[in-house]
Amino acid sequence: MTVERIDMSEDGDRSFTNVIVSVGSNIEKERHIPEAIRRLRRHPDIVVRRVSRVFESPPVAGPADAPDFFNVAVFVCTELTAPELREELRHIETAMGRVRTEDRNDPRVIDLDITYYGGSTEEFGNWSVPDPEAATEAHVAIPVADVAPEWIHPLSGLTTKSIAERLEGNEVEQIMAIRLSTPYGLRSADDFDEVGEVYAPKLESLVREQLLEIGEDPDREGLARTPLRVAKAMDFLTSGYSTSLEEVVNNAVFDAEGAEEMVVVRDVEFYSMCEHHMLPFFGTAAVSYLPKGSIIGLSKIARIVDVFARRLQVQERLTNQIADAMGEILEPHGVAVVMEGKHLCMMMRGVQKQDSSMITSAMRGCFKDDARTRSEFLDLIKN
Ligand code: ZN
């Protein structure tokens, strides 16, 4: 059986499970398939090892004029359990605008399913691994066989390659392998080497150059996977560039007629990187608004902070951007944001008092114009 577990040396006994995730779309699929792969690659708990070619197939059922699908299979490894991974895949679907309906033949923006989870065979209520479709549906089996031909189906003992070859019928004939060329850099199976642990080749080679330049040996054991890790970390830490406010807010703005009380959220942790040195600065934010008919879920405020923090920043601009975003989303009577951050570029280089922190604020609307509102807010965020 193939419960391949690879050891990521830095983490001692933490173990990763190899997983095949099947991805499908038949709405703006040229855009959505690469975006889903990009989101998987960017996920902090998922390492994408290989991606299959892209296969086009007609819908299995439903109206005859339903648009064709693109299907790919993605070979990933993760420490997440199968239910945890499934939850993360659902989050990606939701962030991309998928609305799950009862009708399984509805056209869909994106579909992300666990097809194989290591060698496990397990039932979880209304779903199971391996996905039963892995053995019966060509649009699932063919991309899987493309990305992991020697993977053994844990129930039948057959390789995915022989499962794909055994499937017969219309669907197989109509499936054709096509290549996508997109600005998102979707890579075909050929671009991944056998080890398959390439993440962002260009960034990785730059990190390797950098290691050489500072006099290190990028081939010594401790550094061998460092370019990969740095590329992944960098991708995550700058993910704000490719995250839209709409997907973060995602319909969590509610009408609240008559809600006129000041809303204050404090101690929201943030982590960002200064644009001057690309070193971290981090701290806490206090965000407040005086509603004018609309309120937003509190957890969304932390997500909005993240969207702007996960970029190269200066703290002043970060503070302003959060305030402007809150204003744009809620159109409240006013917004206030106060951030307190420690900057490693100052602390590590000893150019300023080592433990000093920087405080920035942005006041909009009534927080700017009305001293009483402002001082009420400032009182509320005092420790
Ligand atoms: Zn700096």
Per-residue pLDDT of 212-223, as tens digits, reads: 999 999 989 889
Q: Nearest-CA neighbor of 321 among 240, 262, 239? A: 240
Q: Which of the following is catalytic: 35, 88, 153, 315? A: 315
Whether 153 is catalytic is no
Whether 343 is catalytic is yes
Taking the C-alpha atoms of residue 346 and residue 248, their distance in angstroms, rounded to an integer, is 32
Distance 285 CA to ligand 1 centre (A): 19
Q: For residue 205, how many other CB atoms are within 10 A of its CB? A: 13
How would you label 114-142 residue by residue, b for 16+ Cβ within 10 Å and e otherwise? Answer: bbbbbbbeeeeeeeebbbebbbebbbbbb
Whether 277 is catalytic is yes
Taking the C-alpha atoms of residue 232 and residue 49, their distance in angstroms, rounded to an integer, is 12
Q: Which of the following is catalytic: 30, 210, 277, 376? A: 277
Helix/strand/coil percent split, the chain, to 5: 35, 25, 35
Whether 35 is catalytic is no
Q: Specify the domain boundaries for CATH 1.10.286.10 within the chain.
A: 201-239
Distance 382 CA to ligand 1 centre (A): 27
Q: What is the pLDDT of residue 172?
A: 61
Distance 53 CA to ligand 1 centre (A): 42
Whether 88 is catalytic is no
Q: Specify the domain boundaries for CATH 3.30.1130.10 within the chain.
A: 244-382
Identity of residue 208: R
- 246 by Cβ neighbours in 10 Å (0-12 / 13-18 / 19+) ranks as exposed
Instruction: Give the rounded distance of the alpha carbon of 128 from its chain centre.
Output: 24
Distance 14 CA to ligand 1 centre (A): 34
Q: Nearest-CA neighbor of 106 among 171, 74, 60, 37? A: 60
Q: What is the pLDDT of residue 6?
A: 38
Q: Nearest-CA neighbor of 316 among 290, 356, 266, 281? A: 281
Domain 244-382 has CATH 3.30.1130.10: yes
Outline where DSSP puts E strands in 189-262. 253-255
Residues 6+ apart with CB under 8 A from 56: 68, 69, 70, 71, 175, 176, 178
Q: What is the pLDDT of residue 138?
A: 86
Q: What is the pLDDT of residue 121?
A: 95
In the chain, which residues have pLDDT < 50? 1-13, 179-197
Whether 315 is catalytic is yes
The domain 5-178: what is its CATH number?
Answer: 3.30.70.560
What pTM was computed for the model? 0.58
Q: Specify the domain boundaries for CATH 3.30.70.560 within the chain.
A: 5-178
Q: What is the pLDDT of residue 180?
A: 44
Q: Which of the following is catalytic: 246, 275, 316, 328? A: 275
* Sheet bearing 263-274, strands edge to edge: 312-313, 263-274, 280-290, 334-343, 358-365
Q: Which of the following is catalytic: 10, 84, 246, 276? A: 276
Residues 6+ apart with CB under 8 A from 4: 18, 118
In this structure, which CATH number among 2.30.38.10, 3.10.310.70, 1.10.286.10, 2.60.120.10 belongs to the domain 201-239?
Answer: 1.10.286.10
Q: What is the pLDDT of residue 4?
A: 37
Placement of tokens 């944001």 in the chain = 337
Q: What is the pLDDT of residue 69?
A: 84
142 within 8 A of 53, measured Cβ to Cβ: no
Taking the C-alpha atoms of residue 79 and residue 235, their distance in angstroms, rounded to an integer, is 19
Q: Which of the following is catalytic: 32, 35, 274, 366? A: 274
- Hey, what's the torsion of the CAs at 39, 43, 49, 53, to 10 degrees? -10
